[in-house]
Amino acid sequence: MNNVFIGLGSNLDNPLSQLKAAIEHIKQVNAIKLVAVSGFYSSAPMGPQDQPDYINAVIEISTSLEAELLLDELQKIENEQGRVRKERWGARTLDLDILLYGDEVITSKRLTVPHSGISERNFVLYPLQDLVDANFKIPGLGKLGELVASCPVESLKRLSEN
Ligand code: ROI
């Protein structure tokens, strides 16, 4: 079994419900066991500013699926929840990113793991910090605590309701 962290993001069509529905869909995949869910956070968009704020979270799963088969399952869920791929860095109903896949480094046509944006994305690092401790090692990038220390919290806010 592989321990995997997945980043969830949405800024359209009731983002909090989108994330919760995605977690329910992920739980229904046979080869996936849900281990933990971070808090839910709101944040200003990274990239074009003419789009709504995002809700983000990170989940930890345990899975027997190879990385690309896992990606297939996640993309199915994105599509079922109405994801339409339009402009790069534009608004989206649901984004499911494989952030970490065990301690593997993957660079294939479809996948870059650890996810390429991790160290600049407070909406990934802070939720991840809800699930693992500061000494947790991100392959090739160092300890989570050090990445968090050099990534300003800015507008990121933890929602009170989970
Ligand atoms: N900005 C925030 N705050 N959260 C996201 O999940 C997110 N996802 C994206 C881009 C458009 C880069 N901006 C984001 O894909």
Q: Kindly report, residue by residue over 25-38, the tens digit of the pLDDT.
A: 999 999 999 999 99
Task: Count how many Cα atoms sit within 13 Å of the Cα of residue 126 in the half-sphere of its side chain.
Answer: 20
- How do residues 98-115 score in pLDDT, each as one tens digit? 999 999 999 999 999 999
Active site (annotated) includes residue 97? yes
Active site (annotated) includes residue 95? yes
The pTM assigned to this predicted structure is 0.96
- The atom number, within ligand 1, closest to the CA of 48 reads 11
CA 1 to chain centre: 20
Active site (annotated) includes residue 133? no
Ligand 1 centroid from CA 50, angstroms: 12
Q: Provide the pLDDT for residue 90.
A: 85
Task: Give the model's confidence band at 144: pLDDT under 50 very low, under 70 low, under 90 confident, else very high.
Answer: very high
Neighbours of 158 (CB within 10 A): 13
| CA-CA-CA-CA torsion sign (50, 112, 76, 61) | negative
pLDDT over threshold 80, residue 66 = yes
Instruction: Tell me the C-alpha distance between 44 and 111, whole Å.
Output: 26
Instruction: Tell me the C-alpha distance between 144 and 121, whole Å.
Output: 12
Q: What domains can be seen in the chain, in order of their start residue?
A: 2-160 (3.30.70.560)
Instruction: Tell me the C-alpha distance between 63 and 83, whole Å.
Output: 24
Ligand 1 centroid from CA 43, angstroms: 9
